[in-house]
Structure 1
Amino acid sequence: MRDLLLSEAGVLYDALPGPLCITDARGNILFINRAWRAALNGGKATRPNLAITDLFHPEDQVTWQHHWEQAALSGGFTGRFQVWQAEGRSCWYQLQVCRAAGREGERGSWLVSACDVDEQVRREHDLRREVSELQGMVDASAECIKLLDLDARLLSMNQGGMQVMEVEDFDACRNLLWSSFWQGEVGVTIEHALQEARAGRTFTFEGQAATMKGTLKWWEVRVSPIYDQQGRIYRLLAISRDISLRKDAEKTRQESEMRLRSLIEASPISITTTSAGGTVTEANPATLALTGWTPEDLKAERASWHRQTLPEYADLDRSATEQALRAGRSEPYEKEILGAGGVRVPVRVVLARGEASEPQRFIWYIQDLRPQKAAERALSELNTELECRVHQRTAELEERTVALDAFARFTDAVGTETDVLALARGALSVIQARFVDATGVYYERKGETWQARVWTSDLAEDTRKVITQGIPVDAPVFAEPLRRRSPWFVDHWNARREGIDHTEQYHAAANLPLLLNNEVRGFLAVGLRHTGTWSDTDRAMVQAIARGLNLALERTEHARQLELQRRELQEQTRELQGANEELEAFAYSVSHDLRAPVRHIAGYTALIHKSLGERLDPKTARYLSVVDQSATRMNTLIDAMLDLARTSRVPLRMESVDLDALVSRVRRELAPDHESRSVQWNVSPLPQVHGDQGTLYQVMVNLISNALKYSRTREVSRIDVWSEEHEHGWAIFVRDNGVGFDPRYGDKLFGVFQRLHRQEEFEGTGVGLANVRRIVHRHGGQVWAEGRPGEGATIGFTLSRTS
């Protein structure tokens, strides 16, 4: 029955134009119609026991098997599969699988119909490839390509756009309003662009917007409509291109043009542009100032360099124009033009050709040479003046050289001579060596005449008699330089006019006063026999010799004064040494002579005490106690006088002394005297000094013991010891917080037996600080005191550094 049915159906299926086959439940082919066999061209369809999967390309067999197994539950399926054809070629078919009719309870067969879709599939594949390639091109584009809905919400963006917009994840901006990226005035432009695109028109604009990361950029934007298959606008396309670099370049170019324009406007050089016919189209202010043109002249095209050019320079301009056309610019050349007011103005010109698009346009650079020409004239005049000054300065230097040479010769001649006449002879010898026709004379005053004391060997005998007898002080040759206190030179000497006999052989003369303490000490006179005038060089030489003689006379006078002072000082020193020796002898004598009586007083006072014993009434006992205390104080004063005298006599052993160690030693030795007191010591580091260790120890003992004594009334005594460095040594200070003193009587502190406090308040001899001053003075230093009542005292002294 089944075979019959297949046979009957086969006739019907063979008649169908499309491929068809019947399989059993396992997928074995029971029947295949003529159309499928024709498509297979007798290939696999002729093999017995053929499974339908054998007809498929291996890539699709697994997919078929999966759908075949699912068909048992679903009752069928539809899909596209590659089916083998003749010559091993595969073709795409749309297969529809459904159950074939069968009796109830029988396992049914399956009906498989096929439709050739190979061309459609291949077209779809090509389309997908083209779409993929197009998407790749879109993604690779550096422009930001955005798909918007009609409400301007972001639907998609290409990869290149995400990079330029700094979008890391598109979902962060998906469905955002595109207009929200634009702020400020450009928002109005955005809305207009969207309206234009919705109306079917493409709109392009430029504006600034920030990226997703906030980077502000310039964009060139084009918004266009997108149509569906029915020709309706259903999407918008916005393409943005980053033009920030172009905008920056435009801004830089504009700024450069502005700077260039400012430079041109401020340039002192005339800069103009002219048309092919020579009419000036642009000109800077320097041009207007040079030519007298006005802005109205430029607008009316009345300005032209041809009108300003003098006829004799036309050929120069023509040659420069040809050179500019040929080489781009001319070489600089000079000519004259008619300036403002018709004045001829010298100028330097460079002519340049315009850009390639304007070959007949020229740029003229014209420099006004009037300042330069004036500067050249001034420089020429200055050079002339400078040459004159150089010549004058050279002459002065020659005169100075001659003078210095004369001074050096005189210095060599006199050496260290101190005899006045010998010095005068030295000066005259230099004059005679320099002037072969000169006579020199040295004069000193005697009474009311000036008498010659020294003269050169060429002096005539009759002239010598006149000048040695003396020339009256009122003679012009002496009176005039004496009044002026300056050299007096006489050209064209006239013996009768000057009133000096036997001097007719001289034609020029000079008389130079020699001053000591602004008083004329003598005169140096020179007469020239063969020359009637004094040259500047000869004047300078004579003055230099006179100056040298004057200095030598001053040196002689100073040496004489110093010798007198030295002798007086020696005499005073001898007298002082004698006085000091007598004073020291007196001090020793007084000290020794006084010690015996004081010792007797003390001894007899003790004997009286002992002899009277208990019979001694209180009043007498008090008298004896006062006598005993006075004797003890007298002994103390005698000891202090001996120490003071000894300080002056003991030789100093100068060495490096460590003041730090010295003060530490003093503190240790004085410690037992103030064990029961509260003393605050502030001792700064002290330097090494140059001095005598023993006497400096006495200084520090006196100062520190005084500080302790006069601060004992304080609850806490504070003693400060420090040093300060000075240019030539050290200053050492000792300060206390004791009772202080009245600064009006500070100079008495360092006097012998001078005290500012009563003996009942503070014990002492009044010799300690006197001893300090004597020791410091022997070290070449100074000592001083500062203080105020109730505010303590500071004693300072200076010492030199370690040698």
Structure 2
Amino acid sequence: MSLPSGTPERLSLNERLQDVTHALAASTTVHGVFEILLTSALETVDATTGAVLLVTPEGDRLELAQSRGYSPDVPTIWKDGPLDGSVPAGEALLDQTALFFEHQDALMLAYPDLEERVGAPPPVATAVLPMFESHKSLGLIVLDFTEPHHFTQEERFFLRTLSTQCGIALGRARLMSELQQQVEERTQQVYREARAQEAFIAFTEAVGTETEVTLLAQHSVAVLDQRFPGSTAAYYEREAGRWKLRVHSENLGESPELLEQLRAGLPLETPVFAAVLQTQAPVFVNAWNPQQERVEHTEMYHTVATYPYVRQGEVQAVLGIGLKDQGHWTPSDRALFLAVCRGLSLALDRAEQVEQVQLQKAAVQNRNRALEAFAQLSQEFVFETERFPLVRRAQDIVLTLLPPGYAVYYELEGDVWRCHSQVGDLGNEALQALVNAGFPKEVPTLRQPFETGQPLYQDVYAQGSDTDAEVVKHIQAVVSLPLQVAGTTVGIFLIALFHERAWTTTDRAVLETTMHSLGLALERAEHARELTVQRDLLEARTRLLSAANEELEAFAYSVSHDLRTPVRHLTSFAQLLRKTLGDRLDEKSARYLGVMDQAATRMTTLIDAILELSRTSQQPLHLRVVDLGAVVSGVRELFEAEALDRQVKWTVGPVPLVMGDVGLLRQVMENLFSNALKYTAPRTQAHIEVWAEEEEPHWRVFVRDNGVGFDAGYTHKLFGVFQRLHRQEEFEGSGVGLANVRRVITRHGGTVRAEGVLDQGATFSFTLPKA
């Protein structure tokens, strides 16, 4: 679109700006935008020449896009070059500002070495206008003058606005061009997909439900012949290290030498096939070269393609095509060839699945028979506990699932394999004699599975490897299975068949499952025997404990009655002796009687402690939620009343709710507080601390004192009955209190602990379940 012609009177700048804005809005190409821009700018400010330079996609260079008025023979400073801030074009873009130079001196003053740098004389006056779109640098508009030119404010505004409008129009034109390109590409893609879809549908309709591989290949070749007239399609299969032709286009018969060569087979290393083997992906060859590709008699083909068919991780077949009328593969033809190949791939997959279903159906039937037999065997395993009868029953049932043969179970005794169970006739008297005598340890069929712990399947038995070949010539297939009990191989379960047998997946599953179940049954039988022994031992121990409890009760009764009586007699007669002697009791005799009194008192204390310990052990637990803080407070008040003559500082922290027997827990706190007061007696001021800490899923309660402490090396003695770390003369006591504490806490499912340093105090702690 061109600008309106000017009238004799010059149009105002605003009118020109409005006209050029309308023209740019209507332009849809980059070239059109530049034409409108240069025409308007040159006419409006009377510039001699003008140019548009664009920033390259990389953003580091400027390239001349369009110019007006420059002579090809006259050099100019506006040309392709790096985006450098040391020249006017680079500075205008980098600073994002328009530059106006009204005379040559102004330009040279700003860039003294410009002429030397660019190799061209600078213009007399020039305007350099950057173009942007969304802050992205697009390029420059340059206007040159051969005479000095004063840029008025109106002209500067016009040119800046023009560059802005041009940036917007340029961005829109570029976008339009990109959209048009995308539409064209998408149209081509839709066309290719449509052709490919048509070919795929044609192939699918042709094959229907066919599953025979050769017929499927014939259908694919026929579709390719139809879609690529004059081409030659061929289907190859891998056989004996060569690619052999199986199906081909009819026109291949026109080249008998090539047909004979392909039927004989091409080597695997033939380049076009080797590439398929290596990549397992389609290969397209443009400009086919028979010498380079090492396939003779193929000069008539210009392009070739091959498509691999992969089975079990290896390329097993290839579908190929040669085109005679084109030198390269177009995207459309590629898509068409791939569509047919993928259709064949799906059909081959379906054929393989049908075959697999048929095989699986046969396998299921065999497995059902095996499962029925195995269910029967499993039931018998439950009631039998002896090893060899279990093995024999497994042999009986397994042999019913297999062709004629025999089963022998061996165990290694010293260096000889001994037969412990045989089912079936071995078919040779000499072989039976060898089995009865036992085989040496090194025979491979028995040694290998015993050492590896893995079954040894021999589809073709290695006759002569274990015995003389003559005695086993009637044996065709053998399997040796290790029988494992608790992870240890105890014997070899061997089956020999008189006919050839490829051991199938079902065979292996049934045999190995039988061995596994047999091993579990033997483990279960062994565990049953062990449990019987343990039960007998437990019953005997229970009887012993019952007798011990009866003796303990008798002992407690004896202590409470029989032992107290002599002690009371001793005390009574000592008092009678004092009264009888009266004033005649001398000092020495009085001392002897005092020793007797002290001993009797000590004896009474020990008897009471023993009885208390016995009651603690036998008293039933009455568990409930206990406020241990209230128990601590109650016991503390009791001991405070008894220690009024001492200076005792109590520090009691929060103590939680616990599960326990309130009476027994009170005894625990009484024993620990009693100990703390006793062993802090030498201190001017006793300090007793109580607190609790959380130890999931328990609470740990602490009692610490600043008493005489103890040697940590004797900690293990603290909680024993009658175990004391201080002499009786230093601190009185029965030696039973801490033992009682441990017994109570243990019955609550907790633990006790003691820490101490000699002459620096002690800390006792115990755990109790959370409430």
- Whichever of the two has the greater Rg, that structure is 1
What TM-score does the superposition give when structure 1 sets the normalisation length? 0.48
Structure with higher RCO (Cα < 8 A, 6+ apart)? 2
